[in-house]
Amino acid sequence: MPDVLTIETRGPVRILTMNRPDKLNALDTALTRALCDALDAAAGDAQVRALVLSGAGRAFCAGADTGEFRDLVPGQGDRVADRASLTARLHRLLRAVPQPIVSAVHGAAVGGGAGLAIGCDMAVAAEGTRFGYPELRHDLVPALVMTNLVRQMGRKLAFELVATGRMLSAAEMLAAGLVNRVVPDGDALAAALDLAEICARPKPIAMEATKRLFHEVAEAHYDAAMEAGLQANIAMRGYRDGP
């Protein structure tokens, strides 16, 4: 049985590829846990300076594996809570991992897959990408993926996506600021690797501080953000002699 996640290291860049192509890389427990473990491992590996998240086959990720979720129903208590906590941990790790992460998105990126695509620090989308949150069409709530969405998109469009299930094209994703690049179909991984390789050049201590500060100031009040920037500026003076 093939691994649900393949891991390849190219110099300072590590590529994590979701590998359930027959299921459009739908997120079951095994794949979600494998992604968490791989991100944890990368965070502790000084040789890894950037990551790329991709999907095998004709889709990036079709969201949650609904076949598995049919067995998780109210009344099962711990099983439902544990599965939800695992998904939340995955999304938190995308931000907590010190290295920059670039998603290489193609085909379908919906529901949980849409959340992964924009949960990375940067994203590249192939022209044929279809992106959206169709959960309400199935009487589900796009719960854990909503945090990143409302922080990265205007509220009116974000609510339209979750309320109607409308799908965005790659061009619309670019216009909404959800991706950094739109490239021809078949080129998303190469373009994501190019971005990751650029991000791998600075010293890890400087890139880690930059990523941490970026997310902190994005959500802090002005004075708190300025104070965080001040402290990072002071600490920066010691980076010259760091690793």
Q: Which residues are catalytic?
A: 135
Fill in the amino acid letter for 4.
V
How far is the C-alpha of 198 from the C-alpha of 181, rounded, in Å? 15
3-state SS, residue 55: strand
Cα 203 vs. chain centroid, distance in angstroms? 23
Cβ-in-10-Å burial (0-12, 13-18, 19+) of 81 comes to exposed
Q: Please say whether the beta carbons of 5 and 34 come within 8 A.
A: yes
Q: Of 115, 102, 106, 101, whose CA–CA distance to 188 is shortest?
A: 106
Three-state SS annotation for 88-106: HHHHHHHHHCCCCEEEEEC
How far is the C-alpha of 218 from the C-alpha of 85, rounded, in Å? 25
3-state SS, residue 187: coil
